[in-house]
Amino acid sequence: MASEKSVEHAHIEKLIASNLPGSPIYAFLLTPVRVVSASKGHVVCRLPLTNSHMNSKGGIHGSVSATIVDWMGGMAIASYDLREKTGVSVDIHVTYQSSAKEGDEIEIEGIADKVGGSLAFTKVNIFKVQDG
């Protein structure tokens, strides 16, 4: 028996489907992102990496990672209270510990630590999905 999706999961899938077409950069970089799970303030997605995500050395481009962090922070906020609008980022800090290459799949985890009326604090982790 297949498990039902949470209300947050359904909300995030709907939000992605409606928002990606309106944002050329998100549509270009995040198609075909897939929601793995979502609960209050926590979203996990997966994205296969293509040539469009790579830098000249064959690794995921830093600007792609930063864009993913920006986007996923918004998704984590949206999952917190099922809001439609996620606001704008005021500060993004990215630390790179490893890389991924074309053909790899990455897992993106967004966590909304604190969500207020006009400011939210999020963290985003990006992992390379290992074979097996």
Distances (CA, A) of 29 to 21, 34, 84, 116: 12, 13, 21, 29
Number of domains in the chain: 1
Q: Which residues contact 51 (CB under 8 A, 6 or more apart)?
A: 102
74 occurs within a structural domain: yes
131 has pLDDT over 80 = no
- Tell me whether residue 122 is in a domain: yes
In a domain, 14, yes or no: yes
Is 100 within a domain? yes
Residue 86 has pLDDT above 90, yes or no: no
Q: Residue 123: which H helix or E strand, with range?
A: strand 120-128
- What local confidence, expressed as pLDDT, does residue 112 receive? 98
CB atoms within 10 A of CB 95: 5
Q: How far apart are CA 74 and CA 72, in angstroms?
A: 5
What mean pLDDT comes out for the span 106-128? Answer: 96
Mean pLDDT within 81-102: 92
Please name the residues in contact with 52: beta carbons below 8 A apart, sequence gap of 6 or more: 28, 29
Domain assignment present for 60: yes
The pLDDT of residue 130 is: 85
Question: How many beta carbons lie within 10 A of that of residue 64, not counting itself?
Answer: 22
Q: What is the pTM of this model?
A: 0.94
Supply the CATH number for residue 82's domain. Answer: 3.10.129.10
| Residue 2 within any structural domain of the chain | no
In a domain, 77, yes or no: yes
Q: Pseudo-torsion of CA 25, 29, 31, 36, nearest 10°?
A: -120
pLDDT digits (tens, 9 = 90+) for 13-68: 999 999 999 999 999 999 999 999 999 999 999 999 999 999 999 999 999 999 99
Provide the residue range defining the domain that includes 108.
Answer: 7-128
Q: Is residue 1 part of a domain?
A: no
